[in-house]
Amino acid sequence: VFLVEESDARGAIAPRRSDTHKGSYGHVLVVAGSHGKSGAAAMSALGALRGGAGLVTVATRSEVVESVLGHTPEVMGWPLENRGPLGMADLEPLLAAADKKDVLVVGPGIPRGEETVKLLGTLLSRVEAPAVLDADALNAVATDLEVLRRAKGPLVLTPHPGEMSRLTGVPTKDLQKARVEVARDFARTHGVTLVLKGARTLVAHHDGSVYVNPTGNPGMATGGMGDVLSGLLGALLGQGLKLPEAAWTAVYAHGLSGDLMVARRGRLGLIATDVAKGLCNVWTRWNR
């Protein structure tokens, strides 16, 4: 079990070379959002942009595309023309959306239904890019963990303890007493990288290594923080960081942004977009 140090996280991100362009920093596809949860997509996309992504496209139900874009004009929308929960009818549009993307972030605020797990399983089995599974993508995958094994590219899962409980069947209370063991076991068994969120977020890789994150604070215990993290993690993968480094670097930077914001603005009123916007404080501190 490794403790992530600031020099590790800083060192994982290479300084930018001058002869680069937006294509050098990755195109992130965020599959997220629905009517009433458009903000989740917007926050994940913002996390990706503020995390250095070259381009960010959000694939979401057509009716909320403009709502998502309304928060951040730098984001592009990929309208999914069907209605209702994500299902097999969305496969072709999502495969088209995923074409030439460097990384997928799937889950924040998606409309989930019975077919969602089958859709995600098929999608992941046909896309080579690394994928971050978060929020309702985790809840969907929990119903059939075989989809993890069938994924063509590397997978990162970012559950909070409640979602981890659904993934493993272990009650949250028990899980919290054996976080390292449960996380390591899951990562190994399913061949993924697992980010188990909470007071001391863990990153467990399928090679058995486990990383403990020292940053973050209880002011971050508020809605949307996870969406920002999944976007940031997608951005780092898109910039070429490998796993598990990308995961523990994202977690470290996300928590540090929260710590720097809280020092200035208190704990109680911190909200998720503060942490996304505050990432610039981390990059400045790291000269990145």
Minimum Å gap between C-beta 4 and a second copy is 17
Q: State yes or no: residue 55 binds a second copy (CB under 8 A).
A: yes
CB of 121 to a second copy, least distance (A): 26
Using left for φ > 0, alpha for ψ between -120 and 50, and beta otherwise, residue 216 falls in left
| Binding positions for a second copy, 100-119, rule CB under 8 A | none
Per the structure block, which two tokens stand in for 199?
């007071």
73 scored as a contact of a second copy (CB under 8 A): yes
* Site residues (CB under 8 A) for a second copy, limited to 184-213: 198-199
Q: Which of 4, 30, 31, 43 binds a second copy (CB under 8 A)?
A: 43
Quick one: CA dihedral 218, 41, 98, 283, positive or negative? negative
76, 91, 180, 212: residue in contact with a second copy (rule CB under 8 A): 76
CB of 207 to a second copy, least distance (A): 27
Question: How many angstroms separate the most distant Cα atoms in the chain?
Answer: 51
The closest of 193, 201, 187, 285 to 245, measured between CA atoms, is 193
Is residue 84 near a second copy by the rule CB under 8 A? no
| Selection from 261, 269, 165, 273 nearest residue 216 by Cα | 261
Q: Report the distance separating Cα 285 and Cα 184, nearest Å.
A: 32
**How far apart are the C-alpha atoms of 145 and 81, rounded to whole Å?**
28
H/E segment holding residue 123: helix 116-126
- Given 130, 154, 161, 255, the residue binding a second copy (CB under 8 A): 161
CB-wise, 5 or 66, nearer to a second copy?
66
Can residue 40 be called a binding residue for a second copy (CB under 8 A)?
Answer: yes
178: contact with a second copy by CB under 8 A: no
- Name residues contacting a second copy, limited to 246-265 (CB under 8 A): 264-265
Q: Are 47 and 228 in contact (CB under 8 A)?
A: yes
Q: How many CA atoms lie within 13 A of 130 on its CB side?
A: 26
| Burial (CB count <10 Å: 0-12, 13-18, 19+), residue 118 | middle
What is the footprint of a second copy within residues 213-242 (CB under 8 A)? Answer: 217-219, 221-225
**Which CB sits closer to a second copy, 1 or 280?**
280
> Which stretch, 2-10, 30-38, 84-92, 112-120, contacts a second copy (CB under 8 A)?
30-38
User: Could you tell me the smallest distance in angstroms from the CB atom of residue 185 to a second copy?
Assistant: 22
How many alpha carbons fall within 13 Å on the CB side of residue 121? 17
Q: Contact at 8 Å (CB) between 82 and 266?
A: no
Q: Which of 39, 121, 159, 258 binds a second copy (CB under 8 A)?
A: 39
Tokens of 202: 């863990």
Identify the residue among 1, 2, 3, 36 touching a second copy (CB under 8 A). Answer: 36
Using alpha carbons only, how large is the chain's radius of gyration in Å? 17
Q: Which range in 84-92, 128-136, 181-189, 270-278 contacts a second copy by CB under 8 A?
A: 270-278
Give yes or no for residue 150 binding a second copy (CB under 8 A).
no
Q: Which is nearer to a second copy, 191 or 269 (CB)?
A: 269
Does 268 help bind a second copy (rule: CB under 8 A)?
yes
